[in-house]
Amino acid sequence: MNKDHFEVRSAGYDETDYRLRYVDEMAEVIRKHLPLSPAMHLLDFGAGTGLLTERIAPEVSEITAVDISPSMISQLQEKSHLLPCRLSLLQQDLCRDELPEIRVDGIVSTMTLHHIEDVPVLFRHLLTLLKPGGFAAFCDIDTEDGSFHTLDTGVKHLGFDREEIVQWLKEAGFENVEIRDATVIRKPQGDYSAFLLSGYRPQS
């Protein structure tokens, strides 16, 4: 059993102002640049307590929320009845565990990639979960000096170099790969820029 790195964070997770602000802005940039539509089934990778899921839910018909942490998933479970779309919860590590037998129209993810050791492998796995033409949209932080996290929640990357992460997504087989500014996360110890990385599974 993996350590639940978010056990001490999950209960008060939704009460942090800076976090609510950056998830609002990341959801907004995803809505602006990705083709969300009411019939879609999305996968929220590293959904946590569902901050992104609940902001995207009014736009689509179904979300599969995947997270490795039992405590984060259980926070999301508690508010699932409030969501305006169908929701399935999967407590799973998509880097190691067997992949679910689903094909989705799009994958969304906020602030999870920096917890993943082998991001290129993850990108290859996620491609297989998309229908042809489906999209993936990841928000995360640019390279930082190590001051972003004040608690070790299983951090594997101090942000990302944009050129390198774009290359990883292309090498995994995604096309029309783009990266753009998403927001600036303002924490008490400093400001951290964040990006939206997106790409599509080829039609054939």
Ligand X SMILES: C[S@@+](CC[C@H](N)C(=O)[O-])C[C@H]1O[C@@H](n2cnc3c(N)ncnc32)[C@H](O)[C@@H]1O
Binding-site ranges for ligand X (CB under 6 A): 6, 23, 46-48, 51-52, 66-69, 72, 93-95, 110-112, 115-116
Per-residue H/E/C for the chain: CCCCCCCCCCCCHHHCHHHHHHHHHHHHHHHHHCCCCCCCEEEEECCCCCHHHHHHHHHCCEEEEEECCHHHHHHHHHHHHHCCCEEEEEECCCCCCCCCCCCEEEEEEECCHHHCCCHHHHHHHHHHCEEEEEEEEEEEEECCCCCCCCCCCCCCCCCECHHHHHHHHHHCCCEEEEEEEEEEEEECCEEEEEEEEEEECCCC
**With respect to ligand X, which residue has the nearer C-beta, 40 or 185?**
185
Query: Which residue of the chain is nearest ligand X when measured via CB?
Result: 48
CB of 95 to ligand X, least distance (A): 5
Q: Which is nearer to ligand X, 43 or 179 (CB)?
A: 43
Q: For ligand X, give the closer residue by CB, 39 or 151.
A: 151
CB of 64: closest distance to ligand X in angstroms?
A: 12
Least gap, CB of 178 to ligand X (angstroms): 20
